[in-house]
Amino acid sequence: MALNREQKRAKIRSHQKELKSIILVGLIINVAAFCVAFPQTFTPGPVFARDFSAYYIGEWRLFHNPTQIYQGGSVAGDYLIPPAPQTFKYSPSFLILLAPFLTLSYQNAFASFDIMQITLMLLFGFFVYKILKDKRAVLANVAAAIIIIALSPLFYVGYLMGNAHVLQTILLVGACYFGYAKKPWASALLFAFGSFDPRAALFALPLLVWYNRQNIRSFAAGAAGFIALTNLPFFFYSRIGFSFLQTEVSGSIIKQMYPYDWLPLFAIATLMGVEIFSTVTINYKVQQTLLKT
C-alpha cells in the first residue's frame, strides 16, 4: 500500500515537472516573439498607427475631449499620432487601466504597455499551471501546449500591434484561476477589468460560473459590483457610457475578428474542453463504480 502511494506521488511529481517544462518552453517562445515584434513597434503603419494608438487617443480624449472618445480618425486638437490613430472601441472601464500611461509620450507609453504585457506572461504561466496541475497528465500537457505554445503566433501579433487582447487573455485566465482557487472576489475583480471587450467576457462567463460554483453568490455580487463601479461613472461624465453603447454595442456584437481577437477565446475554449472532459470522465467512473457495487 505504501509503495502504491509512493508510486502515485512520483507519477504526480513527474506530471507536474512535464507541465512546468511545457509552460517554460511556451514562455521562452513568447519572449522570443516579443523580441522580434518589439523593434517593429517603433515604425507606424502606412495608413494608421498600431492598435495601441486607439487606447492612447481614447485616454487623451477622456481628459481633453471626452465626447469624442469613440469617434474614428483624427479630431481637431487631438494629440498627434501619425499617420492617424485607430478608433477606440472598448468599454469605458478600460480607460481606468490605461490612465497611468497617459503620463508618458505616445511611443514611450506604447513601449511600456508592451513590456507590461510580456512581463505579465509570467503570471499567465502561473495561472495556467495552477489550473492544470491536478488534471490528467496528457490532457493538461496538451492544454498547456495549446494555450501557451500553439497560440504564440497570435501573441506575437498582439505584441506587434500593442493590442490589449494579450492583457485580456491574462485577466480572464487569472479570473478562472482565482475561481478555481475558491477566491471569488479576486475572480470577480479580474473578470470585471477583463470584460473591456464584451465578446470574450461573455464567452468566458460560463467557465467562470463553473469555477466559482461553490461561491457563486459572492462571485456574482462581486462581478456586478466591480463592473458597475468601473463603468457607471462614465455614464455621468460627458455621457461616455452612452457613446459606448451607441457606437459599439447597439450594432452586432460579432464584428470583424482580427487574429489577436481570438486569443482569449481560444484560451478559454481550451480550459472549457479540459473541464468538460474531466467532468465527463469522473462521472463515467462514478457510474461504473456504482454499477459494480
pLDDT digits (tens, 9 = 90+) for 62-82: 999 999 999 988 888 899 999
The C-alpha cell at 235 is: 455614464
The pLDDT score that the predictor gives to residue 175 is 98
The pLDDT score that the predictor gives to residue 288 is 53
The pLDDT score that the predictor gives to residue 8 is 72
pLDDT-derived band at 253, boundaries 50, 70, 90? very low
Q: What are phi and psi of 191, to 5 degrees?
A: -65, -40
The pLDDT score that the predictor gives to residue 62 is 96
Q: What count of residues does the chain have?
A: 293
Q: What does the pLDDT average to over 12-18?
A: 84
- Give the tens place of pLDDT for each residue, 156-177: 999 999 999 999 999 999 999 9
| Cβ-Cβ contacts under 8 Å for 181 (sequence gap 6 or more) | 130
The pLDDT score that the predictor gives to residue 55 is 97
Encoded amino acid at 204, one letter = A
The pLDDT score that the predictor gives to residue 10 is 74
As a whole number of angstroms, the distance between CA 90 and CA 55 comes to: 9
As a whole number of angstroms, the distance between CA 253 and CA 257 comes to: 11
DSSP H helical ranges for the chain: 2-37, 52-64, 94-98, 106-132, 137-144, 152-161, 165-180, 184-193, 198-211, 216-231, 233-236, 240-244, 262-292
The pLDDT score that the predictor gives to residue 251 is 54
Predicted TM-score (pTM) of the model is 0.92
Model confidence at 59: pLDDT above 80: yes
As a whole number of angstroms, the distance between CA 86 and CA 27 comes to: 29
| Range with the poorest average pLDDT among 7-11, 21-25, 57-61, 266-270 | 7-11
The C-alpha cell at 202 is: 461573455
As a whole number of angstroms, the distance between CA 36 and CA 159 comes to: 9
Which is it for the CA torsion 127, 41, 105, 52, positive or negative?
negative
